[in-house]
C-alpha cells in the first residue's frame, strides 16, 4: 500500500478516485462503470443496462440508543425494520438523517455505499451484510458517487471493510 494514501484520505470526504486508488492498493480487482446519476433502486434497474453482478441497496440507520448501522443487501430483498432489529441485535431503528450521513460517511442520500466506510475514521458505523448477497460471484455498489457503479467479489468487499478498520456481521435478511 502506498504509505501516503491513508494519510491523504484523512480529509473528509474521500473522492471516488481516492477510493479506487485505495482498492488498487489493496490489490482488489474491481470494475467501475460511469452512468447518469442513480438515486433509487428503481432508477438503477431502468438505467443500468447489462452490468454484470448482483445489484445492491444500502440503508444508513440509527437505533434508539444512537448506534449507527449500515445494512448492505440485495436490491430486491424486503427489509422489515422490526424483524431487522432482532436479527442484528439493535433497538428501534429509523433512517439516519442526511446531515448525520454526510458527517459520518461523507455521502448524501442516494449515494450510500459500503465504500463510504472509508470516511468513517472513528468507526461509528456497525456493518451488516446480507448473507445471500455475500454468496454471489460479483456485487455492485456506488463508489462514493451515484454516477458510477463498481463491481467486485464479496471476498474483496470483506477485505475492503477490514482494511477500513471495521468489523462486519453477515445476516440472513
Domains identified in the chain and CATH numbers: 3-171 (3.90.960.10)
pLDDT one-digit tens code per residue, 20-52: 999 999 999 999 998 777 666 676 655 556 777
**Average pLDDT, rounded, for the chain:** 89
How does DSSP assign the chain, residue by residue? --HHHHHHTTSSSPPHHHHHHHHHHTT---EEEE-S---SHHHHHHH-TT--SEEEEEEEEEETTS-EEEEEEETT----HHHHHHHHT-SSEEEPPHHHHHHHHS--TT---GGGGGG-TT--EEEEEETTGGGSS-EEE-SSSTTEEEEE-HHHHHHHHHHTT--EEEE--
Binned at pLDDT 50, 70 and 90, residue 6 comes out as: low
The pLDDT score that the predictor gives to residue 65 is 96
pLDDT one-digit tens code per residue, 103-121: 999 999 888 999 999 999 9
pLDDT one-digit tens code per residue, 114-158: 999 999 999 999 999 999 999 999 999 999 988 889 999 999 999
Amino acid at each position: 500500500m502506498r504509505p501516503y494514501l491513508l494519510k491523504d484520505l484523512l480529509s473528509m470526504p474521500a473522492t471516488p478516485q481516492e477510493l479506487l486508488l485505495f482498492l488498487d492498493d489493496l490489490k482488489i480487482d474491481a470494475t467501475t462503470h460511469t452512468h447518469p446519476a442513480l438515486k433509487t433502486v428503481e432508477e438503477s434497474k431502468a438505467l443500468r443496462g447489462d452490468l454484470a453482478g448482483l445489484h445492491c441497496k444500502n440503508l444508513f440507520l440509527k437505533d434508539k440508543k444512537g448506534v449507527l448501522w449500515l445494512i448492505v443487501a440485495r436490491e430486491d430483498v424486503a427489509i422489515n425494520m422490526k424483524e431487522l432489529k432482532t436479527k442484528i441485535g439493535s433497538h428501534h431503528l429509523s433512517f439516519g438523517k442526511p446531515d448525520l450521513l454526510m458527517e459520518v460517511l461523507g455521502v448524501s442520500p442516494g449515494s450510500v455505499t459500503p465504500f463510504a466506510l472509508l470516511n468513517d475514521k472513528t468507526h461509528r458505523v456497525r456493518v451488516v451484510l446480507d448473507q445471500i448477497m455475500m454468496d454471489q460471484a460479483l456485487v455492485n455498489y456506488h463508489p462514493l458517487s451515484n454516477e458510477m457503479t463498481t463491481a467486485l467479489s464479496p471476498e474483496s468487499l470483506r477485505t475492503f471493510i477490514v482494511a477500513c478498520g471495521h468489523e462486519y456481521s453477515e445476516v440472513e435478511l
